[in-house]
């Protein structure tokens, strides 16, 4: 059997699914939205290809011939699984940026995250100065039980170096089947010695509500950056009740960096705040496959407290549905920056091999008929996903009644009041991280009292701990001078000392008391948060 014939066995079911899927499985069965990449999905069962007639297509015949020629004459040996995956995705991306093919492991991972769980070790990781570090260890999870700590540098996973990996690549290597072990080698700043942990993967909760607290007397803050999964509305309701018991009368809901999640969860979250009969979203597609469907709130007892939302470029898809619904209905005031602009729905096809196909089949619209999908015509996938968009710097009047809003040419949800936060200087951020890591290990001269021997889960903010004094600034300047590759000049330091002070202290608090406590500290100087709080304090409480 020729390689083209073997290769065709892999490709043919997908191609026939693309052609025959809607004929075989018309209609909506389940609408989903992946937390990774902000994509709305419509679930479907495994599709049985209707036949082999597609193989008679001249283009397909030519494809098979090309495969044989590549295999016989190309200068390199070919990994056909990788090549096929890339070819399929290039084909799909000519249609739109959100259709895609998922190999078995990626498809399983996507479905697990939608189910509010994944199989891993329960640790968060970031990349700083080209290296990967642990910055969160979830209490009671495998990483915590094994003894991993904040600031541990990951150097190997299963004897493979991670020096060329980013956060996403590392997560792919660490996650896997439940109860299967993964070997992770770390380097601790205090000793510089390497230590290997053999950790059995376990089910880890994927939380939508990352943390919540009273940010001011009577004003609650809820960070909803973890996407919209099966437990989002329940998590949010529990957080609201807990804050109301502490005296909350106004709410600030943070949707920044929320990539999306289950569409039906976006509906249920919207219902928490919208009166019955209020439209949340409408769905439109090809006339023969989708009739227009409008989804409305059915909650007879919605929350009536003053509500402010925070959005940014990372707010996408299901979180945009929620923000757009509350904005169009005049239920919330939105602060921040233009959202991502994702308004397409994909249907999920589970293929026989355990892989998956997502194919764009419809668009969604806000109650006032706005399509928030930004243009992807003549735009590369890289530019679509990663490039910064030009955003308007205008603000809207501080009023709450529904306003007739026109679609924005760049797509996305426009905040009612645009507020830009202080620009992050990557080199300074990474230098502050490394300096704090050294200080926490007791390695910075004259700052041995900053050594952290054990982290605490206490979320009460320290009053005087880790204050950045003139001595700390001098030691930081000396520290960065030892690393000319970071390109941190004296002029840059002088212009951004307040930023440096906050970053160093936040890193120390994160290591000592957790990310939630550090976030409470950082929010005190967050321009978007402060503007939203100012508006909330002037709103009348509805009894």
328 is catalytic: yes
N- to C-terminal Cα separation, the chain: 76
Asked if 67 contacts 3 with a C-beta cutoff of 8 angstroms, the reply is yes
342 is catalytic: yes
At 102, list the tokens.
Answer: 């998922």
What is the per-residue DSSP string for 475-497?
HHHHHHHT-GGG---HHHHHHSH
State phi, psi for 16 to the nearest 5 degrees: -70, -35
Q: What is the dihedral of CA 434, 147, 124, 458, to 10 degrees?
A: -80
CA atoms within 13 A of residue 333's CA, in its CB half-sphere: 29
**DSSP strands (E only) in 201-278:** 202-205, 211-216, 219-223, 250-254
- Choosing from 328, 416, 430, 526, the catalytic residue is 328
At 454, list the tokens.
Answer: 């054990």
**How many other CB atoms are found less than 10 A from the CB of residue 290?**
18
**3-class secondary structure, 120:** strand
- Choosing from 208, 270, 317, 339, the catalytic residue is 317
- Choosing from 17, 99, 339, 342, the catalytic residue is 342
Q: How far apart are CA 28 and CA 44, in angstroms?
A: 8
Which candidate, 387, 338, 390, 341, places its Cα nearest to that of 364? Answer: 341
CA-based radius of gyration for the chain? 25
Q: How far apart are CA 175 and CA 105, in angstroms?
A: 10
Asked if 347 contacts 40 with a C-beta cutoff of 8 angstroms, the reply is no
Q: How far apart are CA 76 and CA 79, in angstroms?
A: 9
Alpha helices (H) in 334-380, listed in sequence order: none
Contacts of 196 (CB under 8 A, 6+ apart): 156, 183, 184, 185, 186
Asked if 503 contacts 431 with a C-beta cutoff of 8 angstroms, the reply is no
Q: Among all residues, which ones are annotated catalytic?
A: 317, 328, 342
């Amino acid at each position: 059997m020729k390689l083209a014939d073997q290769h065709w066995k892999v490709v043919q079911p997908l191609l026939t699914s693309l052609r025959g899927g809607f004929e075989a499985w018309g209609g909506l069965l389940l609408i989903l939205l992946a937390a990774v990449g902000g994509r709305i999905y419509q679930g479907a069962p495994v599709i049985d290809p209707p036949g082999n007639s597609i193989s008679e297509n001249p283009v397909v015949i030519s494809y098979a011939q090309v495969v044989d020629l590549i295999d016989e004459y190309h200068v390199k040996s070919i990994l056909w699984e990788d090549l096929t995956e890339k070819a399929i995705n290039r084909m799909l991306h000519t249609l739109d940026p959100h259709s895609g093919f998922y190999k078995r492991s990626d498809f399983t991972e996507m479905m697990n995250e939608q189910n509010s769980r994944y199989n891993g070790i329960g640790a968060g990781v970031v990349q700083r100065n080209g290296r990967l570090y642990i910055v969160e260890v979830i209490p009671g999870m495998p990483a915590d039980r094994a003894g991993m700590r904040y600031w541990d540098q990951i150097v190997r996973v299963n004897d493979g170096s991670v020096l060329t990996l980013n956060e996403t690549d590392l997560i792919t290597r660490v996650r896997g089947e439940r109860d299967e072990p993964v070997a992770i080698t770390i380097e601790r700043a205090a000793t510089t010695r390497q230590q290997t942990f053999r950790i059995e993967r376990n089910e880890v909760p994927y939380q939508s509500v990352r943390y919540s607290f009273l940010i001011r007397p009577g004003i609650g803050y809820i960070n909803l950056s973890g996407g919209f999964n099966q437990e989002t509305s329940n998590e949010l309701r529990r957080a609201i009740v807990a804050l109301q018991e502490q005296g909350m009368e106004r709410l600030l809901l943070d949707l920044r960096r929320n990539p999306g999640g289950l569409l039906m969860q976006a509906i249920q979250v919207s219902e928490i705040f919208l009166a019955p009969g209020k439209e949340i979203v409408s769905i439109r597609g090809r006339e023969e496959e989708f009739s227009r469907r409008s989804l409305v709130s059915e909650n007879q007892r919605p929350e009536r407290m003053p509500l402010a939302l925070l959005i940014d470029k990372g707010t996408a898809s299901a979180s945009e549905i929620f923000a757009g619904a509350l904005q169009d209905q005049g239920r919330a005031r939105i602060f921040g920056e233009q959202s991502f602009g994702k308004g397409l729905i994909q249907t999920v096809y589970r293929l026989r091999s355990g892989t998956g196909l997502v194919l764009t089949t419809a668009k969604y619209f806000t109650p006032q008929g706005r399509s928030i999908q930004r243009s992807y015509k003549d735009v590369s996938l890289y530019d679509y996903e990663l490039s910064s968009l030009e955003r308007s710097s205008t603000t809207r009047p501080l009023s709450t009644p529904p306003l007739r809003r026109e679609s924005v040419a760049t797509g996305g949800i426009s905040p009612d009041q645009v507020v830009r936060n202080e620009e992050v200087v990557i080199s300074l951020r990474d230098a502050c991280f490394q300096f704090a890591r050294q200080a926490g290990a007791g390695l910075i001269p004259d700052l041995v009292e900053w050594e952290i021997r054990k982290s605490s889960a206490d979320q009460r903010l320290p009053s005087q701990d880790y204050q950045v004094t003139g001595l700390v600034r001098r030691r930081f300047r000396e520290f960065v001078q030892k690393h000319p590759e970071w390109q941190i000049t004296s002029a840059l330091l002088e212009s951004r000392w307040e930023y440096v002070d906050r970053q160093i202290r936040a890193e120390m608090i994160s290591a000592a008391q957790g990310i939630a406590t550090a976030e409470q500290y950082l929010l005190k100087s967050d321009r978007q948060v402060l503007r939203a709080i100012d508006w909330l304090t002037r709103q009348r409480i509805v009894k």
